[in-house]
A and B are shown apart, each in its own frame.
Chain A
Amino acid sequence: MGASLGRAALILALGVCVYGIGAALYGARTGRREWVDSGRRSVYALALVLTVCFAIIEIAFLRSDFSFDTVAGHSSTTTPTFYKAAAVWSSQEGSLLLWVWLLSLWSSAAIFITRNALRDVVPYATAVLLGFGAFFTGLLAFMATPFGTSSPAPVEGVGLNPLLRHPSMMIHPPMLYSGYTLFTIPFAFAVGALVVRRVDAEWIRAIRRFALAAWLFLGIGVLLGARWSYAELGWGGYWAWDPVENASLMPWLIGTAFIHSIMIQEKRGMLKIWNASLVLATGTLAILGTFLVRSGILQSIHAFGASTLGVPFVILIGLLVVGSIYLIVSRREVLRSEHHLDSLLSREAVFLLNNLVLVGLCFVIFWGTFFPLISEAVTGSKASVGPPWFDRYTVPLTLVLVLLSGIGPVIAWRRATAANARRNFRIPAVFGLVTLVVLVGVTGDDRKPWALGMFCCAAFVVGTVGQEFYRGIAARRALSGESPVTAAVSLVSRNRRRYGGYTVHLGMALLFVGVAASSAFQASRDVRLATGQGVDVGGYRYTYVRQTASVIDDPKRTGSILDLGAVVDVTRGGRHVTTLYPSRGYYPAPDASQGPVGSLIGGEATSHVGLKAGLRRDIWSAIEPDIQALQPLIDKGNRVVPAAHPDVALVVLEAIAQHYRDSAPPAQFRLIVSPMVTWIWLGGLIVLGGGLIAMWPPPGRRVRARYLARVGRDLKRAPTTTAV
């Protein structure tokens, strides 16, 4: 019953989208406001209908209603409740539903926020957003339905892949999809503004906030994925230049470029064509990213599996690209610059350079990601480039980016003078150079020029941000005589964009310091250790003290059944640093083909990383126990268990675990000492904080009206000639 309601609701959602597009466009063409409003309300209606759809599928998962194919395929009675709720989006169709539901929610927010503004642009923006809605609901209704049913319903489901059983893995898709869908909003409003040929301050103000929100969500989504990879998977890295990782990074990079260059357009009316292109590219890349993960066209660990959805997506992306180019070319008179670059030493020039670096980064990543397809087109065979190739180009570009983030906020608009530069850059530059000298001394022979360069640039950024805060607080105190803390708070709250931006730069600098340190100075070993044996890694001694084995007697079987692990002692210079408990959990197999005992542990295996994080370095360990050596025992156990009493298998397994505890089996270890990884996550948090500060709504109406009145009076009091 729920499924047929869901199917009908999807068709209804598609109908609402089609109606809304028609109503909004008709209202725009004829100037009849009521039709435009009806079109806008269609967005709210879409959100309503899709919420119903999402609720139906969620309830089905929570109730373990296996008549739904998607529930049977991705959940089971033994899946814990939290993961049942999140398993909705572990499937192709469920994740599409999540995507379009989030699109409808964020679009409703955007339509509501702009209800009294941008009167001529909103109808077209509405039509574009509903166009995306129509595409996705169409896919869901006709090609990848989440409401497929089977009868009779299976008794048990397949269960959620244990690799996904981690909180950040479940929050990662909603964050990521929120980022993608939020980027379609500036896209839609840009299309609308270009259609009606009105690209002005009001439009900039509306678009900027959405772009910033999208940028934040997408950034957090990417960071969460990296953190999960590091803390949960058994390889100890956080970024692999995997196609799906890259697909989420590309729109974020272009979004970053847009957030910066839009400031130039706001202040000096420049770069209008550039900005329009950037915002259209961001939306297109967001759709491309959504497509890449589910198309199967590129080899990736993430792929949802080859699917038939490729063709519609390619058509949509083609449409977006062609449409964007057409709009920009046909509206280029509206996008003519009001001013031009005065000097190459100015904030405008630095922002422009920052944009070029970001677009360059995006191009490198794009090229490397799609290279298998490119090489197939050119040479006939698929070839791929690996992380070393990516690193070769992204490392220098990122270094320049960090350096620019220190220069940009401080250098003057229009034209910087030598005196200006001396006053503002002297202290941060000295700070950066001193840091470099100290670090070169400290690291001695271990020369890693790129890492040291990054540290130097990051120190420079820290210097400029610190200087800005210091001077701002001093200026505020000169005016108001407040205490430093109060002055800091009121300074930030009155200049949110500025100081929020500085905070973001600081966070990014720290993040890249963490990336540089943990890549360049990492020490890792893959070794086989016998009990009692130790090994030196990066100045620390890891000792495999003893083995652990536990059988989890959970009647509900929500977790792994068998856990084999180790107690690992870590010392440095003889002194005890920490004790780690890496282990590997073995989950049950979905069927009984491996025998009663074998099936208890014949499913997926997940690593439980033994990790001691710290500000200076992370001590990381993962274990791969030699479970193959237990196979003879498991086979014997399979024969021993009577068919009439399958629960005896658990007892047998406990005996096997005891055998593992008693014997002294060697095991394969991956041991890593990684400096300053925590700075990555801390830097990310600071970026989040800075972004929120920058996004916070401006002071209320009354305060703003008072300010406007005061400035108006000032202007009238001091008339000036218009010629300057």
Chain B
Amino acid sequence: MVGALLVILLLGGVVWLVSGPLRRPPEPPEGRDTGRAGLEAAREAKYREIRDAEMDHRTGKLSPEDHERLDRQLRAEAIDILRRLDELGPEPRRSPPGSGSV
């Protein structure tokens, strides 16, 4: 008897948890995936590369000429990413806190 009650309790808990998002007022459908997140990640990765190259230069793994060449190339690639991010337009207004998903 107690067992059956516990099962029902567990089932209820699961249903409540899982149906939570469905019970919210429906959000406006997301815009087309613009790839913004991907570009932002690429930007961070590129910055890290620039930093690493600088580090390599300071610890002597790259000669000054090699570093300058590499640095110029990486910065050009970074600017390209920044430009593509700018083209996407300003960042969409973030949804108000509390309606984010868990």
Do A and B contact each other directly (Cβ–Cβ < 8 Å)? yes
CB-contact partner of A45 in B14, B37, B61, under 8 A:
B14
User: In the complex the two chains form, what is the Cα distance from A93 to B96 in whole Å?
Assistant: 46
> Does residue A628 face the partner (Cβ distance < 8 Å to B)?
no
Contacts of B55 in A (CB 8 A): 472, 475, 495, 498
User: In the complex the two chains form, what is the Cα distance from A708 to B40 in whole Å?
Assistant: 11
0/1 interface trace, chain A 104-125, chain B, CB 8 Å (1 if under): 0000000010011111100000
Contacts of B35 in A (CB 8 A): 200
**Closest A residue, CB atoms, query B100:** A116
Instruction: Report if A200-B38 is in contact (Cβ < 8 Å); known contacts: A34-B24, A412-B66.
Output: yes
CB-contact partner of B52 in A205, A498, A722, under 8 A:
A498
| Interchain CB contact under 8 A, A201 and B72 | no
Nearest CB in chain B: distance from A650 CB, A = 43
Q: Using a CB-CB cutoff of 8 Å, which residues 44-70 of chain B contact chain A?
A: 44-45, 47, 49-50, 52, 55-56, 58-63, 66, 69-70
Q: Interface residues of A toward B: which range?
A: 35 or more
**Closest A residue, CB atoms, query B25:** A34
User: In the complex the two chains form, what is the Cα distance from A410 to B61 in whole Å?
Assistant: 7
| Interchain CB contact under 8 A, A37 and B13 | no
Contacts of A528 in B (CB 8 A): none
| Interchain CB contact under 8 A, B50 and A711 | yes
0/1 interface trace, chain A 455-480, chain B, CB 8 Å (1 if under): 00000000000001001101100110
User: In the complex the two chains form, what is the Cα distance from A412 to B53 in whole Å?
Assistant: 10
Instruction: Report if A112-B102 is in contact (Cβ < 8 Å); known contacts: A412-B66, A419-B63, A724-B72.
Output: yes
**Closest A residue, CB atoms, query B19:** A38
| Interchain CB contact under 8 A, B18 and A119 | no
Total interface residues in chain B, CB < 8 Å: 55
| Interchain CB contact under 8 A, B18 and A115 | no
| Interchain CB contact under 8 A, B37 and A202 | yes
User: In the complex the two chains form, what is the Cα distance from A205 to B38 in whole Å?
Assistant: 10
Instruction: Report if A478-B58 is in contact (Cβ < 8 Å); known contacts: A31-B29, A34-B21.
Output: yes
> Does residue B11 face the partner (Cβ distance < 8 Å to A)?
yes
CB-contact partner of B21 in A41, A204, A719, under 8 A:
A41
| Interchain CB contact under 8 A, B41 and A718 | no
| Interchain CB contact under 8 A, A715 and B75 | yes
| Interchain CB contact under 8 A, A201 and B27 | no
> Does residue B3 face the partner (Cβ distance < 8 Å to A)?
yes
| Interchain CB contact under 8 A, A201 and B76 | no
0/1 interface trace, chain A 371-401, chain B, CB 8 Å (1 if under): 0000000000000000000000000000000
| Interchain CB contact under 8 A, A34 and B26 | yes
User: In the complex the two chains form, what is the Cα distance from A720 to B69 in whole Å?
Assistant: 12
Nearest CB in chain B: distance from A475 CB, A = 4
| Interchain CB contact under 8 A, A16 and B14 | yes
**Closest A residue, CB atoms, query B38:** A200
Nearest CB in chain A: distance from B53 CB, A = 8
User: In the complex the two chains form, what is the Cα distance from A565 to B47 in whole Å?
Assistant: 64
Instruction: Report if A5-B6 is in contact (Cβ < 8 Å); known contacts: A32-B29, A711-B50, A721-B76.
Output: yes
User: In the complex the two chains form, what is the Cα distance from A486 to B60 in whole Å?
Assistant: 21
| Interchain CB contact under 8 A, B21 and A31 | no
Contacts of A16 in B (CB 8 A): 14, 18
User: In the complex the two chains form, what is the Cα distance from A699 to B15 in whole Å?
Assistant: 38
Q: Using a CB-CB cutoff of 8 Å, which residues 701-715 of chain A contact chain B?
A: 707-708, 711-712, 715
CB-contact partner of B17 in A31, A44, A116, A412, under 8 A:
A44
| Interchain CB contact under 8 A, A1 and B13 | no
Contacts of B60 in A (CB 8 A): 423-424, 471
| Interchain CB contact under 8 A, A19 and B59 | no
| Interchain CB contact under 8 A, A475 and B73 | no
> Does residue B88 face the partner (Cβ distance < 8 Å to A)?
no
0/1 interface trace, chain A 241-263, chain B, CB 8 Å (1 if under): 00000000000000000000000
Instruction: Report if A708-B18 is in contact (Cβ < 8 Å); known contacts: A423-B60, A424-B61.
Output: no
> Does residue B30 face the partner (Cβ distance < 8 Å to A)?
yes
Contacts of B22 in A (CB 8 A): 34-35, 38
| Interchain CB contact under 8 A, B18 and A38 | yes
Top 5 A-B pairs, shortest CB-CB distance: A37-B21, A202-B41, A201-B41, A471-B59, A475-B58
Q: Which residues of A does B touch, CB under 8 Å?
A: 1-2, 4-5, 8-9, 12, 16, 19-20, 23, 31-35, 37-38, 40-42, 44-45, 48-49, 52, 112, 115-120, 198, 200-205, 266-267, 410, 412-414, 417, 419-420, 423-424, 468, 471-472, 474-475, 478-479, 495, 498, 707-708, 711-712, 715, 718-722, 724
- 11 A-B Cβ contacts within 8 A? A4-B3, A12-B7, A20-B18, A41-B17, A45-B17, A45-B18, A118-B37, A201-B45, A202-B37, A202-B41, A412-B66
Q: Which residues of B does A touch, CB under 8 Å?
A: 2-3, 6-7, 10-11, 13-14, 17-22, 24, 26-27, 29-30, 33, 35, 37-38, 40-45, 47, 49-50, 52, 55-56, 58-63, 66, 69-70, 72-73, 75-76, 78-80, 82, 100-102
Beyond A19-B18, A119-B30, A412-B56, 13 additional contacts (C-beta under 8 Å) are A4-B3, A9-B10, A33-B27, A34-B27, A35-B22, A38-B22, A41-B20, A117-B37, A118-B37, A201-B45, A468-B59, A715-B78, A718-B75
